[in-house]
Structure 1
Amino acid sequence: MALTYLHTMVRVKDLEKSMAFYQLLGLVETRRHDSEEGRFSLIFMAPPDQPDCPIELTYNWDGDDGLPSDSRHFGHLAYGVDNIYETCQHLMDNGVTINRPPRDGRMAFVRSPDNISVELLQNGDALAPAEPWVSMESIGHW
């Protein structure tokens, strides 16, 4: 039995904020479907060099009162990055809270505007531990 990865779907409350968050991570919109009849939009975003590995943002035009929730039942998304420290600094500079800082030079967690947990993993070997990350406390949960 062959298995092909298609996408991961998350529901979003504020489409513009959510798209801006994923753009900060480096994802770009690869395709979109707007359903007038169903009153929803599906926006697919992926790393530019990996268009076959998208996340699907599902946006209900009339709102979704259940969002944002804790979303821990979802698990998390994970993306590899070339420099965990630069990526986290870029996110912080743009108002994103680093919930689990990359104290080990390997892994960090942040949350999207819709409370989706996103794991960032250093590509290759871990970077040497460095400040301010080593001394930074975790915030909330991931």
Structure 2
Amino acid sequence: MRLLHTMLRVGDLDRSIAFYTDLFGMKLLRRSDNEQYRYTLAFVGYGDEADHTVLELTYNWDVDSYEMGTAYGHIAIGVEDIYGLCAQLEQKGADVYRKPGPVKGGSTVIAFVRDPDGYAVELIERQ
């Protein structure tokens, strides 16, 4: 068994695809429209779905925003230079709402960014 994907409902599909591809270097792997049920799915990630866990971005055609709720936490992305990446993200207008630094009670360096729909993305420095 393995984890296949995480699904996020988004209010503007093109904006969300641009966020994950332009700012985080993911690739748009596939995209499909369902005219009957009025939604579009886009899968983005760092490698082929056969070998990698990906994000499924779901755009329901008649919905442009969602309640975040209190159960969902975040997705996490491993990065090499967290300080440099966060500086680049802020220059491009991203909301880095938890600046890079050690996690409370530990030494792992993390940061948090919000995607265009308000979902939290944790960055974890990996060497």
- TM-score band w.r.t. shorter chain: 0.7 to 0.9
Q: CA deviation at 1:61?
A: 1.2
Judge conservation of contact 1:69–1:114 (CA < 8 Å) in 2: no
Query: Offset at 1:48?
Result: 4.2
Residue of structure 1 in register with 2:109 after alignment? 106
Structure 1 residue runs of 5 or longer lacking an equivalent are: 125-142
Q: How large is the RMSD of aligned CA atoms in angstroms?
A: 1.9
CA distance in 2, matches of 1:94, 1:106: 22
Q: Please say if residues 70 and 115 of structure 1, whose CA atoms lie closer than 8 Å, have aligned partners that are also in contact.
A: yes
* 8 Å contact from structure 1 (residues 72, 117) kept in 2: no
Query: What amino acid maps onto 1:53 in structure 2?
Result: T
Alignment partner of 1:123 is 2:126: yes
Number of residue equivalences: 120
User: What is the TM-score normalised by the length of structure 1?
Assistant: 0.77
- TM-score, structure 2 length as denominator? 0.85
TM-aligned CA deviation for residue 113 of structure 1: 0.8
CA contact (8 A) 2:5 2:54 kept: yes
**Structure having the higher Rg:** 1
Give 1:86's aligned amino acid: G
Structure 1 residue 103, shift from structure 2 partner = 2.4
Question: Structure 1 vs Structure 2: percent identity of aligned residues?
Answer: 43
Match of 2:58 in 1: 58
Aligned pairs (5 A) from 1:83-94: 83-94=81-92
Q: Which runs of 5+ in 2 are unaligned?
A: 103-107
1:4 corresponds, among 2, 6, 9, to 2
Could you say which residue in structure 2 is the equivalent of 1:28?
27
Secondary structure, counterpart of 1:45 in structure 2: strand
Deviations 1:31-89 (A, max 9, x none): 1121111110110000147762110000011124xx24334421100000111011111
Kindly indicate whether residue 20 of structure 2 is the aligned counterpart of residue 17 of structure 1.
Answer: no
